[in-house]
Amino acid sequence: MLKITGQRLRLSLLFIQLQAGVAIAYFALAQLAFMLAFGQDHIAPIWMPAGLALAAVLRLGYRVLPGVGLGTLLVALSSEAPLLLAPIMAVANPLAAAVGCWLLRRYGFCPALTRVSDVLALIVFAGILAMSISAFCGTTGLSVFGPITWDNYLTVLWNWWLGDVMGVILIAPVLLTWSEPK
């Protein structure tokens, strides 16, 4: 029989609370971003959850990736996106945040953003490079399973990627500097 100690139970509850908090914040920012969406593809010009996901992984570690995945899954299931796109995005979005975090840590990134090189690294590694993962997976999924035609693929890919990059550039620095230990 499995014996659960009080400390293990507390740690498990904290883990669940952390995942739920990240998922709820991700979902809430996605709803806000959808209010800014335009065009027939409903792609948000600033995908704020991308910045939240990156900042959460940088500050709290890779352990928050399930919360990012859960938040992404909830967003996909509550939207008009094809059902088969939901699991793809629930993997792609956390993967993009994880790759962005890994690249930044490998570079020697300081989340306080006190150096110009840290700001540039955030833009290049986490924004431009890592966010191409979620944009590619999402656009390809929409083209295979859904309403996007292959004729519009590059336009949708560009808009999706740009929205993710803008989310990283505009939201992640705010969250990173706000959460900087004093």
Q: How confident is the model at residue 164 (pLDDT cuts 50, 70, 90)?
A: very high
Nearest to residue 171, comparing CAs of 53, 60, 48, 15?
A: 48
Residues 62-93: tens digit of each pLDDT? 999 999 999 999 999 999 888 999 999 999 99
List the domains of the chain with CATH numbers.
Answer: 26-178 (1.10.1760)
Which helix or strand (DSSP H or E) is residue 7 part of?
Answer: helix 6-35
The structure's pTM equals: 0.92
Residue 76, φ and ψ in degrees, nearest 5: -65, -40
Residues 12-32: tens digit of each pLDDT? 899 999 999 999 999 999 999
- Whether the Cβ atoms of residue 88 and residue 141 lie closer than 8 Å to each other: yes
